[in-house]
């Protein structure tokens, strides 16, 4: 049951990341850092699924908007490492 919920959340974040990537492509003419609104959306989707959402952003934006793609990828890696450290910390406390 819990695994199904986790998969559903990951799938939802994947789909949301796909549409946000599409919105970034439509609304952006020149490459540059992520705007505040884009950054908020990227971080929220990557918080729930950093690997899938990060891949969507990086591979979807890297040809047209390499600066935005690198920044989104950086957030993905940071969030993934933080989640990993929190998970390891919680596991070590429960033993």
Range of the domain at 42: 2-94
pLDDT in tens, the chain (95 residues): 677 877 787 778 778 887 888 888 888 888 889 889 889 989 988 888 888 889 888 998 899 899 999 999 999 999 999 999 999 999 998 86
Torsion of CA 76, 82, 84, 87, to 10 degrees: -140
Q: What is the pTM of this model?
A: 0.82
Domain total of the chain? 1
Q: Is 30 exposed, middle or buried (0-12, 13-18, 19+ CB in 10 A)?
A: exposed
């Amino acid at each position: 049951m819990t695994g199904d919920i986790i998969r559903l959340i990951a799938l939802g974040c994947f789909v949301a990341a796909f549409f946000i990537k599409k919105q970034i492509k439509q609304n952006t003419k020149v490459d540059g850092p992520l705007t505040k609104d884009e950054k908020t959306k990227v971080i929220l989707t990557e918080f729930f699924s950093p690997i899938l959402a990060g891949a969507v952003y990086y591979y979807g934006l890297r040809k047209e908007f390499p600066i935005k793609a690198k920044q989104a990828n950086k957030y993905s890696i940071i969030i993934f490492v933080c989640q990993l450290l929190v998970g390891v910390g919680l596991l070590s406390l429960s033993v």
